[in-house]
Amino acid sequence: MQKIIIAIDGYSSTGKSTVAKELAKHLGYVYVDTGAMYRAVTFFAMTHNLIDDDHFDVLGLVSKLNEVKINFKFNPTLGFAEVYLNGENIEKEIRTLEVSNKVSKVATVPEVRYQLVKQQQKMGEDKGLVMDGRDIGTVVFPYAKLKIFMTASPEKRAKRRYDELISRGDKVTFEAVLKNVQERDYIDSHRKDSPLRKAEDAIVIDNTGFTQEEQFKLILRLVERVFEDM
């Protein structure tokens, strides 16, 4: 059967990556979490003292972008690909609230976006790809056969992220996580380069009242419809 590209965009912590991973597994497709790539660049900037709470050396980061090598390696135990920065597994390091608090700023830098988008487009050359992010349906793969735009209330999204962080043993408050979700929504949808917006032909899914299973079934039906029309 012909393979397609599935683009899943939307606000932070809408469960995009959970459903994208499940879908890729079901279809035997490759899954790529583009947020992890922006987080990896942010982690690089943090460890090179280029960004902290009140300072961001944009030119310093841009001049070092050629030192940033991001790869994904499939981990069979976890069932998904983990992100590596210059050969080092940084999957755990990039999921902290410290990285979340800085990543939207890093993602506004056009040179960062240019590099990452180029890499993402290369990953789609063989199709058979589920990719999630903010600009996949609008910029990275404007011709994707299926585009989904996911949303949910900020409170539901913050609760999801809060539970994740607590289960990892991180010490955070619900209020701090909610504030981060709201700030990232604002920066992601107001930046000049590739702001978060729904592609005209994307299908909106508001999963505030859905279980994960209901949502998966709904998206699978959409995929099947695309295959039937091909």
Under a CB-based contact definition with an 8 Å cutoff, are residues 35 and 227 in contact? no
Task: Kindly state the tokens that stand for 194.
Answer: 């590739």
Residue 148 near ligand DC by CB under 6 A: no
Among 84-92, 99-107, 145-153, 169-177, the segment contacting ligand DC (CB under 6 A): 99-107
Residue 151 near ligand DC by CB under 6 A: no
Residue 188 near ligand DC by CB under 6 A: yes
d(CA 200, CA 76): 36
* Residue count, binding to ligand DC (CB under 6 A): 14
Compare residues 86 and 189 and give the one whose CB is closer to ligand DC.
Answer: 189
In this structure, the strands spanning 203-206 and 51-52 are unpaired
Compare residues 9 and 223 and give the one whose CB is closer to ligand DC.
Answer: 9
Q: Reduce the DSSP state of residue 123 to 3 states and report it.
A: helix
Task: Kindly state the tokens that stand for 193.
Answer: 């380069």
Among 100-108, 145-153, 175-183, 207-215, the segment contacting ligand DC (CB under 6 A): 100-108
Residue 147 near ligand DC by CB under 6 A: no
Binding mask 29-48 for ligand DC (x = CB under 6 A): -----xx--xx---------
Residue 138: name the closest of 217, 193, 78, 83 by CA: 193
Residue 91 near ligand DC by CB under 6 A: no
Residue 103 near ligand DC by CB under 6 A: yes
Among 5, 7, 40, 107, binds ligand DC (CB under 6 A): 107
In this structure, the strands spanning 129-133 and 5-10 are parallel
Residue 184 near ligand DC by CB under 6 A: yes
DSSP 141-181: -TT-SEEEEEE--HHHHHHHHHHHHHHTT----HHHHHHHH
Residue 160 near ligand DC by CB under 6 A: no
Compare residues 68 and 136 and give the one whose CB is closer to ligand DC.
Answer: 136
Among 15, 124, 133, 137, binds ligand DC (CB under 6 A): 133
Residue 115 near ligand DC by CB under 6 A: no
Under a CB-based contact definition with an 8 Å cutoff, are residues 30 and 5 in contact? no
Q: Could you tell me which residues come within 8 angstroms of residue 141 by beta carbon, excluding any fewer than 6 positions away?
A: 5, 7, 121, 124, 131
**Residues in contact with ligand DC by the rule CB under 6 A:** 12, 34-35, 38-39, 103-104, 107, 133-136, 184, 188
